[in-house]
């Protein structure tokens, strides 16, 4: 009982640290609290509690949380997936491509992400100084912290370009830390994911797939290699996941987003038993016109005839006024006796699409076709007719659009990394400018740290 009480105390203390307000989350000072005492890292149980709280913060705020202020919504509106006719001026700025550096959603993303990076660094430093935690446990926890630090920096570099790579809790250093080049950032991200993959075990820390193991680091590396256009390593890493017997393809798309899905590599626990995803609570609506963002009619029309994903993952709402569409991958808007849906961050379908794209670039026509057909056949579609590298890459882009919509900004990042944002968005976004492939660095951060200057072009 004493151990349980102490563990809960540590969780509460860490939560207070991460959630406490400060002027600049890059410049977090270390408070004189029990959290920074070596006692937190004198047992696996308390160190594990600290790590679990970082995952909870990632679920609650920042890049991949499924609310109004996560990337699934913000970048869904920024790309061609969604439209918004509600009253929030800040979300309208994403939809209309009129974002200003004072947009509070931009600042919230920045602050939450660097706060979570800071917490990861705190755990890494505590583990480094600990003599009480067994090496096996210490290695896995260190691997998780390195993975999360790389995972979070991945989103920062993709959204903002040159940003600080923060690997310390030294507030004197962090409050004036300069930006790293994008090349340096990608090198840091890749190296730390490689280190995490070595340190992490094959087993998940819990009975559910809600924290990082070796396969989660592997999946992230496959994505990173794809973005870096390292086609050989992208295909190799994706193959490792696809061939791993722990992950089993789900043949029925209606089951893909359930908690028990065998194709899930990493998901976020909703926090409490019986609670379901923030994604469903935010995205799903039952009457129109909606005050929430809706799927663009043009996006919905882009599905091929007979595509089961349109039938199962898109909800249509009609009345005498009009017709609207909402994302319906996650359906449970209320609590259930036991949780039925978790927010999925990595799943097998993405790995097949990564490998298909990599194989197309490598000239493996048959292999790329096979991977695409795996996705298409599950959706009730015939085999692809694409038979050249160019046509296969176009087919992959279409399948990624249909498969990964409203999942943590995939569509926007695909447009950005393939240099197709201009062609796709200029005809439909009156405010589009080529400089908008990057978001502005928050104005409040520029005022606090002059090393972040200059502002990104166009802002």
For every one of its 459 residues, what pLDDT tens digit does the chain have, with 9 covering 90 and above? 434 343 444 444 444 444 433 334 344 433 334 444 568 899 999 999 999 999 999 999 999 999 999 999 999 999 999 999 999 999 999 999 999 999 999 999 999 999 999 999 999 999 999 999 999 999 999 999 999 999 999 999 999 999 999 999 988 888 889 999 999 999 999 999 999 999 999 999 999 999 999 999 999 999 999 999 999 999 999 999 999 999 999 999 999 999 999 999 999 999 999 999 999 999 999 999 999 999 999 999 999 999 999 999 999 999 999 999 999 999 999 999 999 999 999 999 999 999 999 999 999 999 999 999 999 999 999 999 999 999 999 999 999 999 999 999 999 999 999 999 999 999 999 999 999 999 999 999 999 999 999 999 999
Preceding omega of 294 cis (within 30 degrees of 0): no
State CA 199 to chain mean position distance: 22
CATH number of this structure's domain 41-282+338-421: 1.25.40.390
pLDDT confidence of residue 37: 57
CB 421, CB 437: distance < 8 Å: yes
Instruction: Write the CB contacts of 374 (distance below 8 Å, at least 6 apart in sequence).
Output: 249, 352
Kindly list the distances between the CA atom of residue 1 and the CA atoms of 61, 64, 205, in Å, as whole numbers in the listed order.
Answer: 31, 34, 22
Instruction: Write the CB contacts of 425 (distance below 8 Å, at least 6 apart in sequence).
Output: 79, 80, 97, 415, 432
pLDDT confidence of residue 32: 34
Alpha-helix runs per DSSP H in 28-167: 44-60, 71-78, 89-96, 104-129, 135-160
- Helix pair angle (348-362, 389-403), 10° resolution: 170
b/e map of 207-218 (b: 16 or more CB within 10 Å)? eebbbbbbbbbb
Calculate what percentage of the chain has a pLDDT beyond 90: 89
Kindly list the distances between the CA atom of residue 332 and the CA atoms of 273, 278, 341, in Å, as whole numbers in the listed order.
Answer: 14, 9, 7
Distance CA 403, CA 11 (A): 36
pLDDT confidence of residue 46: 94
pLDDT digits (tens, 9 = 90+) for 207-254: 999 999 999 999 999 999 999 999 999 999 999 999 999 999 999 999
Mean pLDDT taken over the chain? 92
DSSP letter assigned to residue 34:
G
As given in the structure block, the two tokens for residue 351 are 């790995």
- SS3 state at 437: helix
- SS3 state at 114: helix
Distance CA 211, CA 193 (A): 15
Instruction: Write the CB contacts of 441 (distance below 8 Å, at least 6 apart in sequence).
Output: 101, 110, 160, 163, 452, 455, 456, 459
Strand partners, 146: none
Distance CA 266, CA 287 (A): 32
pLDDT confidence of residue 171: 81
CB 339, CB 58: distance < 8 Å: no
pLDDT confidence of residue 27: 42
Query: Comparing C-alpha atoms, which of 211, 193, 194, 109 is closest to residue 150?
Result: 193
């Amino acid at each position: 009982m004493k151990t349980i009480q102490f563990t809960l105390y540590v969780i509460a203390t860490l939560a207070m640290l991460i959630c406490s307000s400060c002027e600049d989350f890059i410049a977090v000072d270390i408070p004189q609290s029990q959290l920074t005492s070596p006692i937190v890292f004198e047992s696996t149980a308390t160190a594990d509690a600290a790590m679990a709280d970082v995952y909870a913060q990632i679920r609650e705020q920042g890049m991949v949380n499924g609310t109004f202020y996560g990337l699934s919504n913000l970048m869904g509106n920024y790309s061609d997936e969604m439209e918004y006719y509600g009253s929030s001026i800040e979300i309208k700025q994403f939809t209309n491509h009129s974002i200003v550096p004072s947009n509070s959603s931009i600042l919230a993303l920045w602050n939450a992400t660097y706060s979570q990076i800071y917490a990861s660094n705190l755990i890494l430093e505590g583990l480094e100084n600990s003599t009480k935690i067994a090496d096996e446990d210490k290695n896995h926890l260190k691997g998780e912290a390195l993975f999360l630090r790389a995972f979070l920096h991945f989103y920062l570099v993709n959204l903002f370009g040159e940003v600080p790579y923060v690997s310390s809790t030294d507030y004197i250093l962090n409050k004036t830390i300069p930006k790293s080049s994008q090349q340096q950032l990608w090198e840091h991200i890749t190296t730390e994911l490689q280190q995490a993959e070595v340190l992490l075990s094959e087993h998940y820390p819990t009975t559910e797939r809600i924290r990082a193991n070796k396969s989660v680091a592997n999946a992230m590396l496959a994505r990173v290699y794809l973005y870096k256009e390292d086609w050989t390593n992208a295909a190799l890493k994706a193959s490792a996941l696809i061939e791993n017997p722990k992950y089993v393809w789900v043949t029925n798309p209606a089951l893909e987003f359930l908690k028990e899905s065998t194709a899930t590599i990493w998901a976020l626990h909703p926090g409490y038993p019986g609670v379901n995803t923030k994604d469903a609570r935010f995205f799903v609506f039952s009457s129109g016109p909606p005050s929430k963002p809706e799927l663009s009619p043009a996006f919905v029309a882009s599905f091929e005839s007979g595509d089961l994903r349109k039938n199962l993952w898109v909800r249509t709402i009609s009345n005498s006024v009009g017709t609207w569409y909402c994302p319906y991958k996650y359906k449970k808007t209320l609590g259930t006796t036991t949780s039925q849906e978790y927010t999925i961050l990595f799943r097998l379908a993405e790995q097949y699409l990564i490998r298909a794209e990599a194989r197309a670039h490598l000239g493996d026509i048959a292999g790329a076709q096979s991977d695409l057909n795996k996705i298409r056949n599950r959706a009730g579609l015939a085999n692809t007719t694409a038979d050249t590298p160019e046509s296969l890459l176009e087919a992959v882009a279409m399948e990624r659009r249909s498969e990964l919509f409203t999942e943590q900004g995939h569509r926007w990042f695909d447009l950005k990394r393939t240099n197709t944002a201009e062609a796709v968005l200029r005809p439909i976004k009156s405010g589009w400018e080529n400089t908008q492939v990057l978001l502005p660095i928050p104005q409040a951060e520029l005022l606090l740290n002059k090393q972040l200057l200059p502002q990104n072009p166009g802002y």
